[in-house]
């Protein structure tokens, strides 16, 4: 949990950026505690969290499928696709800033999330969050290591 006790917009992106720093610390120092911290953070993203939901489409037993998007809007129009596998959702946001997530105001911070296309304040997908996910995944897979 963040030190403030609140989750900000794009909390999963913030987490992924922190995981990238921890992964770099592991590469520099070789200290396994840093790699363990990265794995723990990835566990959270893939479902070890208060809601038991994987914030990455196509992965886990209960993954997000209705991220806020105008291109991948299957929830609104069955002729459109769901988001592609491997996209990360913004995640819990204590402010619950959109009309859909507003119903969650006052919920525990980690529970301020809903998998609904209209919940742009918690379920948005962005390239910068997904690039951090790609970097962390590549690091864990050992890409680039001798």
3-state secondary structure of 99: coil
What are phi and psi for residue 45, nearest 5 degrees?
Answer: -60, -35
Residue 5 lies in a domain: no
Tokens of 101: 């997530």
Each residue's pLDDT tens digit, 27-67: 999 999 999 999 999 999 999 999 999 999 999 999 999 99
Whether 144 shows a pLDDT value over 90: the answer reads: no
Predicted pLDDT of residue 111: 98
State the total domains in the chain: 1
User: Which residue has tokens 């105008």?
Assistant: 70
Q: Provide the β-strand partners of residue 124.
A: 68
> What region, left, alpha or beta, does residue 52 occupy, with left being phi > 0 and alpha being psi -120 to 50 degrees?
left
Q: Provide the β-strand partners of residue 88.
A: 56
Residues above pLDDT 70, as percent of the chain:
97
Whether 79 shows a pLDDT value over 70: the answer reads: yes
The sign of the CA dihedral 116, 18, 132, 61 is negative
**39 lies in which domain range?**
11-140
Residue 2 lies in a domain: no
Residue 6 lies in a domain: no
pTM for the model:
0.93
DSSP state of 104: G
Residue 109 lies in a domain: yes
Predicted pLDDT of residue 92: 98
Q: Radius of gyration over alpha carbons of the chain, in Å? A: 15
Residue 146 lies in a domain: no
Contact by Cβ (8 Å): 86, 135? no
Each residue's pLDDT tens digit, 13-34: 999 999 999 999 999 999 999 9
Predicted pLDDT of residue 1: 67
Residues above pLDDT 90, as percent of the chain:
88
**Average pLDDT value over all residues in the chain:** 94
Residue 3 lies in a domain: no
Predicted pLDDT of residue 35: 96
Residue 100: CA atoms inside 13 Å, Cβ hemisphere, count?
A: 17
């Amino acid at each position: 949990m963040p030190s403030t006790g609140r989750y900000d917009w794009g909390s999963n992106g913030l987490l992924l950026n922190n995981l990238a720093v921890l992964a770099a610390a592991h590469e520099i120092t070789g200290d396994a505690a840093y790699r363990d911290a990265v794995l723990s953070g990835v566990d959270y993203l893939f479902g070890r969290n208060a809601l038991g939901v994987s914030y990455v489409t196509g992965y886990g037993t209960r993954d997000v499928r209705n991220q806020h998007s105008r291109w991948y809007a299957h929830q609104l129009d069955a002729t459109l696709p769901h988001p592609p596998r491997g996209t990360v959702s913004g995640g819990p946001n204590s402010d619950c800033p959109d009309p859909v997530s507003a119903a969650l105001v006052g919920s525990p911070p980690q529970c301020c999330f809903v998998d609904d296309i209209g919940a742009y304040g918690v379920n948005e997908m962005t390239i910068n969050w997904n690039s951090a996910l790609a970097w962390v995944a590549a690091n864990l897979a050992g890409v680039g290591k001798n």
